[in-house]
Structure 1
Amino acid sequence: MTVTLVPAPVPVRPPRPARLRPVDVVRVAGSGLHSRPMRVFLSALGIAIGIAAMIGVVGISTSSQEELNRKLDALGTNLLTVGPGQSFGGGEAHLPDAAEDMVGRIGPVESVSAVGLTDAKVYRNDHVPTERSGGIGVYAARTGLPATVGAEVAEGRWLNAANARYPAVVLGSAAAQQLGVHDTGAEVQVWLGGRWFTVVGILASNELVPTMDSAALVGWPVAEELLGFDGYATTVYTRAVQGSVADVQSVLGATANPEDPSAVQVSRPSDAIAAKEATDETLAGLLLGLGAVALLVGGVGVANTMVISVLERRSEIGLRRSMGATKGQIRTQFLCESLLLSALGGLGGLLLGIGVTGGYASYQGWPAVVPAWAMAGGIAATLVIGGLAGFYPAVRAARLPPTEALASA
């Protein structure tokens, strides 16, 4: 008997589907976007508006903060003011005569100066009715005031030891404009306290001490002699060593008026500017939230575009599946399309936001600053939005049966 040995059949493995390289995935996804340019543009526009709003808000806020820091560096954050508050009985208090000298003895204090408010009024000429004083305050001023408060003379000169004893006045920028004074000299005079005072100087605007803009400043001796000034300082300005500002501020009240420290008001002018910036930051936060809403709306637009794309390209999906494309490859293709669409919108929004920030900062005279974290965050946000928006359409496309897709073609 002959025994024939039949070899066992060798199992045949199905061919593995071809792998798509990342470059091929991007190329296929890009061709899908290229076939619908107008729809892609409108969808990307929603993303771009959201990113531009967020980048613009952050950039403008940062530029404003940078301008504030630059301004405070120029003006100085080490200026402190001392003024009289309410007395224990509720009446008006005043600083002691020796307040300036006592404050000057504090170790970290660099300079001290003062002004004193008088009862005098100032007018352009002696024909102006007395009730039309315009709210310009007349102050007696120490000759060292500009060095302490950082004031600059725009026209003429500041008071000195010679003219501080004579009827000479220096006008703040707003006061000079209100009185119609644009020049200085012996022939330029204003009617002050019932007599003519010669305008010897006009100050530049001082943002750190805005009260000086609407003030008329005369010498301390002439104020006591001609204007009935009582000699009490109403504001003492103090420059402290930068690292010791808080320490000086804590002892100023007790030093200026040892008998009644509670009747002294101590303030730091730069805090008012910083408080204004904090208000602007609150508004910036609101605008940032609106930008996030716009970005979310843009993401919904991307999802809508991708869902419609799946419905319109059922035949393409069926053809690719019948030719061996796997569900994963179909899913990757549509997810890549969504990411590319969002990235286009994000890149456009980033450029638009930088342009808006630069233009607004240039208009305001600020340094244009767009933080790197904001740009990186904007791109990351677009990719996250694109991934979330394209996930469902990609899964839906991958689950589409080839026969059903080809039958619907």
Structure 2
Amino acid sequence: MATDTPTKARTDRPGRTDRPGRTDRRADALRPARLRPRDVVKVGAVGLRTRPLRAFLSALGIAIGIAAMVAVVGISSSSRADLDRSLAALGTNLLTVSPGSTMSGGQARLPETAEEMVARIGPVYSVSAVGKLTGAKVYRTDKIPEAETNGIAAFAARTDLRSTLGAKLRAGSWLNGATSTYPTTVLGATAAERLGIGQVGPDTQVLIGGRWFTVVGILEPAPLAPELDTAALVGWRAAETELYFDGRPTTIYTRSQDSAVESVASVLGATANPEAPGEVEVSRPSDALAAQQAAGEAFTGLLLGLGAVALLVGGVGVANTMVISVLERRAEIGLRRSLGATRGQIRTQFVAESQLLSALGGAGGALLGATVTAGYALSQGWPVVIPPWALLGGLAATLAIGGLAGLYPALRASRLSPTEALAMP
């Protein structure tokens, strides 16, 4: 009992008892310091600053993948925007009527009244036609052998053909009520190039069906009527008097109200040739451009796949860089652990380094892809269209890849014990 009394007295003294506030301060001193976001960025940037060349090459792999993806999406979007602009200017309400095949397999013919009958369809507000001049060959001079036609055809054309098609003139003028009765012609864009004609005038003539015709105009390419690009167009009356044209149209072009295009297309065949509607072909030229746009979208998907592969290769490069960084910095990791850094802080350091590396590559790739898109689109005369989702998606992809690429190296670094890391050579 004598031995217990002093001990109890010592422990019961108020001055010897620890205060609650002092205990809390000691516990706080033993807790590891928390890294603020600014500190995380600084610690993560250490590896990039100490190994700039390796960091640059790894970020370049990411940048190439992102640039490829952004450029593919941007260029295809700019191309589609230009095509949509062209379709809006030309209109998608153009329908064509042409003769098909007979029951016996021969070439059918449209009646002479087909054009007039089509014009009576209510929603149709514009009608024009051309008639192919089968025996009329087109030459620059009379010294060229007859077999060398250069793929140029001759057509009789109505004076309202240009307005119906929305075709534009490159030079000269279009056929009118006066010139269409004389031996004059308007050349398509490709036909003028093949004949070596770039200007029009009284002295510029071509030989059509053995008769000289004066070139009064040259057309721009006609997307909705490409058959006219390689044609020499003469007036309807002049074709009848000079080239023995029978007056039967071979192609009728119609414009109708946008809301009634489908219904007009369903009755065009029977209206143009009531006796044999099955021998009439009705087409919508703008469908070809829509198919071209769909093909462009499919090609874009293929290129996006290639860009994704390039991005994956860049991610592998980042992972490789981070693994090597962990191996080379084991002494640093051991020193930090011995000074009190937790495993979580080590993981955070290397994940942050990987994210910074990927973010630099993603930002550089997005900028490079946007620059390539703008340069190519402007060189082609297209509007520059870069969808925001392509840029944001590219940056998000780089951050995701950076996080995945740096996760294993970060876990490996955090598992190193201080003594093991410091003992390694």
**TM-score normalized by the length of structure 2:** 0.92
Question: 2:201 & 2:316 partners in 1: Cα distance?
Answer: 69
Paired with 1:376 and 1:182, the residues of 2 have a C-alpha distance of: 48
Partners of 2:324 and 2:396 lie apart in 1 by 25
SS at match of 2:59: helix
* 1:77 maps to which of 92, 116, 137: 92
Of 122, 126, 147, the residue aligned with 1:107 is 122
Matching residue of 2:75: 60
CA distance in 1, matches of 2:310, 2:143: 61
Note the 1:381-400 alignment, pairs <5 A.
381-400=397-416
CA distance 1:278–1:190, change in 2 (3 Å)? same
Structure 2 unaligned regions, length at least 5 = none
SS in 2 for 1:138: strand
Range 156-165 or range 371-380, more displaced? 156-165
Moved more, 8-17 or 57-66: 8-17
| Match status 1:245 vs 2:261 | yes
Q: How does 1:186-335 map to 2 (within 5 A)?
A: 186-335=202-351
Query: What percent identity do the matched residue pairs reach?
Result: 64
Instruction: Judge which range, 160-169 or 309-318, deviates more.
Output: 160-169
The count of residues paired between Structure 1 and Structure 2 equals: 409
Partner of residue 377, structure 2: 361
Residue 92 in structure 1 maps to residue 94 in structure 2: no
Residues 86-121 of structure 1, C-alpha deviations (whole Å, 9 max, x = no match): 112221111122211222122221200000001211
- Aligned equivalents of 1:134, 1:301: Cα separation in 2: 56
Aligned-pair distance for 1:215? 0.7
Q: Which amino acid aligns with 1:276?
A: Q
Between 1:98-107 and 1:355-364, the stretch displaced more is: 98-107
What is the CA distance between 1:13 and its match in structure 2? Answer: 4.5
1:134 has 2:134 as partner? no
Paired residue for 2:361?
A: 345
Q: Name the SS for the 2:104 alignment partner.
A: coil
Q: Distance in 2 between matches of 1:314 and 1:200?
A: 83
Partner of 2:50: 35
Q: 1:343-391: per-residue Cα shift (whole Å, max 9, x none)?
A: 0111111111111111111221111111100001000000000000000
Considering only CA atoms, is the larger Rg found in Structure 1 or Structure 2?
A: 2
- 1:9 is displaced (CA, Å) by 8.5
1:13-49 per-residue CA deviation (whole Å, 9 max, x = no partner) reads 5721111111111111112211110110111111011
Alignment-mate amino acid for residue 410 of structure 2: A
Structure 1 unpaired stretches of 5+:
none
Q: How far apart are residue 396 of structure 1 and its match?
A: 0.8
Q: Distance in 1 between matches of 2:319 and 2:145?
A: 72
Secondary structure of the corresponding residue to residue 265 of structure 1:
strand
Name the SS of the counterpart of 2:45 in structure 1: helix
SS at match of 2:383: coil
Normalising to structure 1: TM-score of the pair? 0.95
**Cα distance in 2 for residues equivalent to 1:300 and 1:93:** 64
Matched, 1:168 2:176: no
1:216 partner SS: strand
Distance 1:172 1:350 in 2: 43
Report the residue type matching 1:35 in the other structure: T
Structure 2: how far apart are the matches of 1:347 and 1:155? 48
Alpha-carbon distance, 1:198 to partner: 2.0
Q: Distance in 2 between matches of 1:319 and 1:172?
A: 80
